[in-house]
Amino acid sequence: MINPLRRSPLIAKFRAESRMSVGQTDILLASRFGFCLGVRRALVQVGQAWEKHSGPGRLFVLHEIIHNPTVCRWLHAQGLVSLDPSTPRWWADLREQDTVIVSAFGATVEEEAHLADAGVAVVATTCPSVTKVWRQVSIYARDGFTTVLHGRYDHPETQATLSRAEARGGPYVVVKDKAEAEELAQLIARGSGAMPEEKSLSQTTSAGFDPAHDLTRIGLANQTTMLAGESMEVAAILRHAMEIRYGSGHVENHFRTYGTICRATQQRQDAAAALAREQPDLVVVVGGHNSSNTRHLAELIATKGRVMHIEGPDAIESLRRVTYQPAGKNKKAHASIAWLKEHPKRRIGFTAGASTPDAELGETIAKLVWLLEEDLPEIMDDELRLSEKGYRC
């Protein structure tokens, strides 16, 4: 298996020039895309752990190191063993001579305690933007505020963050979108009553959550990879509910918010929006289907034009069959993009999530152009040959 972290000559060129034309195809690349500093830092730490690792101990990673299936498969092929915390007693086989790498999303307080009890060496690759959220929800709990987290409840980053609030004795509730924020706002404005069991919010609260008591003072934080615009709307919805309940003159005593969308996420979302405004015939978003930040890029672009979220070049079997994940959905679909061939002059945009390697994006661009054009420039030939997948260029 070829190293997906290899250098991409095509993307190196695109970083200097974000536009390229090949035959009848114009390629537009977002101004910000791909690995963020937190992901780079995590992968560097994995490499350092490998270099230091010796003796009888084994090397594990808790959760996926990043949400990119190609990178995770390659690391597994190199001998990195995954620990799945959803497995009962996942820590039971660990020995003191083992090393466990904690993913960029972090670990829950309980998971950290199990690692400490096992006596293993721990390499924490947790993104600094995530630990900033942890500090904020700990402050909320210390000051008697309930944490409202805008995020995906089942995401490992969300679980790690909620555990910090819980460790401080703070209640919490998770809202994944504006609809759930509106649902919560109704409870706040009403000022009493129980969580509606038939609603989604009843499944995303701390144990013993009491709306009448726990929604009198709330502090909002965000999973770092959510849509920034939606997070601002969620804040406005909840603030307004507090104004209804307590009056605008007292809202500051009952509502706090802290912007915890990471800078890299914001930059990639802004760049994706700018790319969509250029109205290409299609925008291809490259990255893991389970990657929150990549999914949100696709969702943002879908509001402005045609988009396909694919995991990498292998998703493009031919122009007539591409495997993709529709924006906002959790299941894969198949579609034809042969219609691009019918355009006398086609414009295709590309971007990639913060956990997508340059080589994966570069090969995807080169492969699609290879299917559309008779002649490829040398730099795209090189990109396809480096993949060692037998493209006939």
Task: Give the residue-averaged pLDDT of 309-314.
Answer: 97
What's the whole-number average pLDDT of the chain?
A: 93
In angstroms, the Cα distances linking 334 to 305, 308, 321, 325 are: 18, 10, 6, 8
**230 and 332 share one domain:** no
Enumerate the H helices of the chain as residue ranges. Answer: 9-16, 37-52, 69-77, 109-118, 128-142, 156-167, 178-190, 211-214, 228-246, 263-277, 292-302, 358-372, 378-386
- pLDDT higher than threshold 80 for residue 197: no
Task: Give the residue-averaged pLDDT of 14-27.
Answer: 93
Task: Give the residue-averaged pLDDT of 211-232.
Answer: 94
Task: Give the residue-averaged pLDDT of 121-144.
Answer: 96
User: The dihedral of CA 230, 233, 238, 241: what is its sign?
Assistant: negative
**94 and 25 share one domain:** no
**72 and 145 share one domain:** no
Which of 209, 237, 261 is where one domain is finished? 261
pLDDT band at 2 (very low <50, low <70, confident <90, very high): confident
Lowest mean pLDDT among 121-125, 173-177, 323-327, 384-388: 384-388
Which of 126, 152, 171 is where one domain is finished? 126
Which of 70, 104, 126 is where one domain is finished? 126
**348 and 277 share one domain:** yes
Q: What phi, psi does 92 have (nearest 5°)?
A: -60, -30
Catalogue the active-site residues. Answer: 157
Task: Give the residue-averaged pLDDT of 237-244.
Answer: 96
Residue 393 falls within a domain, yes or no?
no
Task: Give the residue-averaged pLDDT of 232-243.
Answer: 96
C-alpha span between 101 and 90 (Å, rounded): 14
pLDDT band at 387 (very low <50, low <70, confident <90, very high): confident
Percent of the chain, pLDDT > 70? 96
In this prediction, residue 36 carries a pLDDT of 93
In this prediction, residue 195 carries a pLDDT of 61
For 325-342, what is each residue's pLDDT tens digit? 999 999 999 999 999 999
What CATH number is associated with residue 114?
3.40.50.11270
- pLDDT higher than threshold 80 for residue 54: no
Residue 295 falls within a domain, yes or no?
yes
- pLDDT higher than threshold 70 for residue 144: yes
pLDDT band at 348 (very low <50, low <70, confident <90, very high): very high
Here the tokens at position 315 are 């998703």
**64 and 14 share one domain:** no
In this prediction, residue 192 carries a pLDDT of 61
**297 and 202 share one domain:** no
pLDDT band at 193 (very low <50, low <70, confident <90, very high): low
**115 and 158 share one domain:** no
Here the tokens at position 228 are 């920034």
| Cross-strand partners of 309 | 285, 325
C-alpha span between 72 and 274 (Å, rounded): 30
Task: Give the residue-averaged pLDDT of 349-353.
Answer: 98
In this prediction, residue 56 carries a pLDDT of 83
The gap from C-alpha 224 to its chain's centroid, in whole angstroms, comes to 8
- pLDDT higher than threshold 60 for residue 198: no
**155 and 250 share one domain:** yes
Lowest mean pLDDT among 48-57, 214-223, 344-353: 48-57
Residue 366 falls within a domain, yes or no?
yes
Task: Give the residue-averaged pLDDT of 108-135.
Answer: 96
Residue 275 falls within a domain, yes or no?
yes
In this prediction, residue 261 carries a pLDDT of 82
In this prediction, residue 288 carries a pLDDT of 97
Percent of the chain, pLDDT > 90? 84
What CATH number is associated with residue 197?
3.40.1010.20
- pLDDT higher than threshold 70 for residue 393: no
- pLDDT higher than threshold 90 for residue 388: no
Whether residue 301 contacts residue 275, with contact meaning beta carbons closer than 8 Å, is answered with yes
Residue 381 falls within a domain, yes or no?
yes
What is the domain extent for residue 238? Answer: 129-261
Domain count, the chain: 3
Residue 2 falls within a domain, yes or no?
no
Lowest mean pLDDT among 46-55, 111-120, 188-197, 304-313: 188-197
